[in-house]
Chains A and B, each alone.
Chain A
Amino acid sequence: MVKMLVPYPENCTGCRFCEMACTIYHNGTINHADARLQVHRRNVRLDFPSVCTHCVSCGDECCVKHCPVDAIKHENGLVRVDQELCTACGECVEVCPFGVMRMEEKAFNCDLCDGHPTCVKFCPTKAIMYEEPKPEQYEKVKKLLAPEA
């Protein structure tokens, strides 16, 4: 069974532990802007996580298709950015419907921490789970993200 990050907005308290744990695990430093997932804190009613679904959410492969230099591949269920090929044009960041394709010197995204996602480990309220993909949960997040514009 393929497992993915599944967001549960109804459980998110907005503590942002996942973002801190993510960047400290990957970089040894903390920077919310570098986290491979995002917690949105919109108002008193609305906190929710947005995670990389590795395109299982709709199969559109937006980042893969839009990359002008074919640096992004969808292999073995994971979306990966080839750091050699990436030109940091920012196209993938623009098109990702979940806003979780990130950019520093090069583009990068969630790698599921080699099968043991740190965000899931640290989430105190089961707002992010590592389990069978749940399309309805991805749709919820997409809807919540929509009014941002």
Chain B
Amino acid sequence: MKGYTGRILKVDLTTGKTHARTFDEKYARKYLGGQGFAVEIVYHGVPKGANALGPENILAMAPGTFNGFPISTGGKTAFAAKSPATGTLAESIMGGSIGMELRHAGYDALEIVGKADSPSYIFIEDDSVEVNDAADLWGKDTRVVPETLKKLHGWDVKVACIGVAGEKLSKIACIDCDDRQAGRAGLGAVMGSKNLKAIVIRGTKDLVPADPKKLLGIAFRYQKIYEAAPSFIEDTKYGTGEFLGWINKEKGVFPTRNWQESVFAEREKIDPYWWAPRYVTKNKACFSCTKPCGKLFEVKSGKFAGVAIDGIEYETLYSLGSACGNADVESVARANELCDLLGMDTISAGVTVGFAMELMQRGIITEKEAGFKLTFDNASDAVPRMIEMMGNRRGFGDVLADGVKVAAQRIGKGSERYAIHTKGLEPPAYDVRGMKGHGLAYMTSTRGACHLRAGFYAPELVGKFWKWEGIDRFSTANKGFMVSQTENFMCVYDSIGLCKFSRGFYLIAKLPELLEAITGLAFTEDELLKIGERVHNMKGAFNAREGVTRRDWLLPPRILQDPIVDGPSKGHKISVEEMNLMLDDYMKARGWTSDGVPTPEKLSELEIS
């Protein structure tokens, strides 16, 4: 079996014991790699009713099948665990190089279970695996930690770590590697709950593709074709926020001031077409990506002088920008930097701040409670200030540190009416009142409101994708079926290790040829999509087992009750009837019960036990 290392490493932090198990071709064919492996490990390993922040939870990390091979955008690594934010099986994907290094150390996945007695880090050097003391690293930020560990172990090691937010078990904490994050669903808190500050890896083993010559040939051909794509060129110039202006003005679905508005009037000042020429000093890329959509954003003067981040990504321009009414791009950058350093997901953190701002606007919380003027018109100062308090759980920051759902429970006084989330996860930058299938995808996403489990914003905004044309974003017709299909599609991408930004380029059609050159295994498109369906069903079955069913999926009140007030999508909302219609269609397309539970027949068909 070429391409794979054929081994999975398990580290038990309670006992300090480590064990490498092997897997065969059958396992690889069934789960593919990356998310598939990570989900399999969590699905079979985490006991029913497990405390997400208890030693029984498992943090799995698995590089995608392409990871480590020179395929453009193919360097993604999946993390998975039972999420403390949603109580569901949640995975989060990053472009940091930690997964590639794990493969060179000789493993296709890492399974971490138990809890260390005291702050620790795992050091993997090929077959040697140690759990080392991290007392000196505790309390340190996500830039100091890798620098310290690299000075100790050599500059060639790769480091994934958590910040203070993860240590303090914030349910919106992320995992960081190379200034790239596995951001969503609080997996950083799972690491923190295990007293695990960092994972350090040096791998010196060869990765062996089945057909190196062929692989190099196809890799080069695809790299060149991809380079000519218009989206490639625009993203390289302006980063992932390239389409912000279009979404804001032409589509009117750019959530603003905690989703009270859907067009950000001050958009120009956070649009990369404005800031890229002024602040970007260099292009950056994830590991193994020839499309540098990462931007080194540097602030050279003023009160935010010294800020340097890999960003600002589209989602962050919304969460720390428009969602908080923040039109000061330097403030957004500083808040982004604080999120990175403290180890918090920028989407969840920003949406939570915006939520608190609306509460103050409505008089539900006071300036005295918050400690300062936490208002939309004071956003430039307030956003970075509150992010810093949240990451450190200081003052009112402690109330907000676990995201909007928990914050609303803590605050009470009807604040739940303004808390925007599904399953406990804050939504990304697409106002689904004006894109109904994507609204369905927020509900069906196994990790809560997410733009990437189905990626359905693209089909609805562009009107076509993959095998479909003429998609109407305001219609509910056929959305259940299409969302289930694109979810399977995305599970393939997260398992194979490709970035979803390249999904319109590779689709599924180009994958079998690449897979065969790497692994020597022949897959048809249908077989790949079947794996995607299997992975999604495992997550669905896990969630149903944990008691998360249809009634827990529903959209928040704002989306169901408050129509969009301005712009091209004015007047639209998703009604309860439309929501239920789409959910019914979706369950049918999935072969699940109307409550959202995968049936025994479906599981058996997919060979899930």
Q: What residues on A are CB-neighbors of B147 within 8 Å?
A: 43
| Contact (Cβ within 8 A) A20 B70 | yes
Tell me the complex Cα distance, A29–B213, Å. 10
| Contact (Cβ within 8 A) B207 A30 | yes
Residue of B69, B178, B206, B219 touching A31 (CB-CB under 8 A): B206
Q: What residues on A are CB-neighbors of B104 within 8 Å?
A: 31-32
| Contact (Cβ within 8 A) B155 A42 | yes
Q: What residues on B are CB-neighbors of A20 within 8 Å?
A: 68-70, 288
Q: Is A24 an interface residue (CB 8 A)?
A: yes
Q: Is B205 an interface residue (CB 8 A)?
A: yes
If A30-B207, A45-B308, A122-B223 touch, whether A17 touches B212 (CB-CB below 8 Å) is: no
Q: Is B309 an interface residue (CB 8 A)?
A: yes
How far apart are B149's CB and chain A's nearest CB, in angstroms?
Answer: 13
Residue of B68, B209, B216, B289 touching A25 (CB-CB under 8 A): B216
Among A7-15, A52-60, A65-73, A85-93, the one that faces the other chain is A7-15
| Contact (Cβ within 8 A) B287 A10 | no
Tell me the complex Cα distance, A17–B74, Å. 11
How far apart are B210's CB and chain A's nearest CB, in angstroms?
Answer: 10
Chain B window 218-257, contacts with chain A (Cβ cutoff 8 Å), 1 for yes, 0 for no: 0110010001000000000000000000000000000000
Of chain A, the residue at the smallest CB distance from B101 is A32
| Contact (Cβ within 8 A) B216 A17 | no
A24-39 residues with Cβ-Cβ distance < 8 A to B are 24-25, 27-34
| Contact (Cβ within 8 A) B292 A21 | no
Of chain A, the residue at the smallest CB distance from B75 is A15
Q: Is A16 an interface residue (CB 8 A)?
A: yes
| Contact (Cβ within 8 A) B294 A13 | yes
| Contact (Cβ within 8 A) B143 A43 | yes
| Contact (Cβ within 8 A) A29 B288 | no
Q: What residues on A are CB-neighbors of B223 within 8 Å?
A: 122, 124
- Indicate the size class of the contact surface on chain B: 35 or more
Q: What residues on A are CB-neighbors of B294 within 8 Å?
A: 13
| Contact (Cβ within 8 A) B70 A29 | no
| Contact (Cβ within 8 A) A21 B288 | no
Q: What residues on A are CB-neighbors of B298 within 8 Å?
A: 45
Residue of B179, B206, B281, B292 touching A29 (CB-CB under 8 A): B206
| Contact (Cβ within 8 A) B205 A15 | no
Q: Is B561 an interface residue (CB 8 A)?
A: no
Q: How many A-B residue pairs have CB under 8 A?
A: 103
Q: Is A3 an interface residue (CB 8 A)?
A: no
| Contact (Cβ within 8 A) A17 B288 | yes
Q: What residues on A are CB-neighbors of B296 within 8 Å?
A: 44-45
| Contact (Cβ within 8 A) B290 A124 | yes
Q: Is B560 an interface residue (CB 8 A)?
A: no
Chain B window 298-326, contacts with chain A (Cβ cutoff 8 Å), 1 for yes, 0 for no: 10000000001110000000000000000
Tell me the complex Cα distance, A15–B75, Å. 9
If A13-B294, A14-B284 touch, whether A44 touches B155 (CB-CB below 8 Å) is: no
Of chain A, the residue at the smallest CB distance from B291 is A124
Q: Is B283 an interface residue (CB 8 A)?
A: yes
Of chain B, the residue at the smallest CB distance from A27 is B206
Q: What residues on A are CB-neighbors of B309 within 8 Å?
A: 44
Tell me the complex Cα distance, A27–B97, Å. 22
| Contact (Cβ within 8 A) B156 A31 | no
Residue of A11, A24, A43, A148 touching B70 (CB-CB under 8 A): A24
| Contact (Cβ within 8 A) B291 A41 | no
Q: Which of B209, B213, B223, B283 has the most CB of A within 10 A?
A: B283
| Contact (Cβ within 8 A) B155 A148 | yes
Tell me the complex Cα distance, A29–B212, Å. 7
| Contact (Cβ within 8 A) A16 B179 | no
Instruction: Give 15 A-B pairs besides A31-B104, A44-B284 with Cβ atoms closer than 8 angstroms.
Output: A13-B283, A13-B284, A17-B290, A20-B69, A24-B212, A28-B208, A29-B207, A31-B205, A33-B156, A43-B147, A44-B310, A121-B220, A124-B290, A124-B292, A125-B283
17 contacts between A and B (CB under 8 A): A13-B284, A13-B289, A14-B178, A21-B219, A24-B212, A24-B215, A24-B216, A28-B208, A28-B209, A28-B212, A28-B213, A30-B208, A30-B209, A31-B104, A44-B284, A122-B223, A122-B290
Interface residues of A (CB under 8 A from B): 10-11, 13-17, 20-21, 24-25, 27-34, 40-45, 47, 118, 121-122, 124-125, 148
